[in-house]
Amino acid sequence: MKMKALSIMKWLAPGNQSAVQSHLAGSPVNGQISRWLTIARSMVVVLMVAPSFAYAWPWSMDQGNQISVKPQESADPAHPGMYPFPSRSVPVPSTPTSTIEVKDKDAAFKLKNPVPITARSVDMGHRLFSIYCVPCHGKSGTGNGYVGDKLILQPWNLTSSNTIHSWNSPDYPDGYIFGMITFGGAVMPIYAEDLSPTERWEVIDYVRAVLQKRGIPAVAAVAQKSK
């Protein structure tokens, strides 16, 4: 112990203090190590967060890149058919999606049905109703579809059995139904881009003639047979 104490005293002598300082300067101190660790942690955080700003996470495009066939794309590589849409393409602004310009539901309310109720229009309306309307309104049109049953607000009863209001009321003309199909409602999706104006009127023809039991006018039925 005495020898060790003498050695320490020797190192602390005035003549050796410069050597001690140079030794300490040559080795990293705790402050330097802490600073480099902080920089390293910051770089890791930046590398982890950067992809989120660039939407470059591996799962960012999962819904867009599926094995399903894209619009206008052929499932057979040997017969490509029409050229597929360019990657990440979007519709050109102001591209018309309807041949009838309707500003809102109030404007639609005033429209008159230009498609007369005939066997053909009712048949086409039935087909379209089965595709777009049955999931919510059900085959019966009373709002008991398998999707409608799961909604908080039940879809409207489109039949003549509606006890809330009469579909024969002037408050619910064909234009009212056309506006709902075009612009949607509380739980009603917008079908303006799925159904052409003519197809929307044909759906209304089916609703009026079959679900609301108005039938096909005799004049239209005779004219249909004559053709």
Residue whose entry in the numeric block shows the structure tokens 């049955």: 134
pLDDT tens figures, 49-80: 665 555 555 555 555 566 666 666 676 777 76
First vs last Cα of the chain: how many Å apart? 124
Is 105-226 a CATH 1.10.1040.10 domain? no
Question: Going by C-beta distance under 8 Å and a sequence separation of 6 or more, which residues neighbour residue 99?
Answer: 196, 197
pLDDT tens figures, 133-184: 999 999 999 999 999 888 888 889 999 888 888 898 899 999 999 999 999 8
Q: What is the pTM of this model?
A: 0.56
Please state the domain extents for the chain: 105-226
Residue bearing the bigger pLDDT, 119 or 165: 119
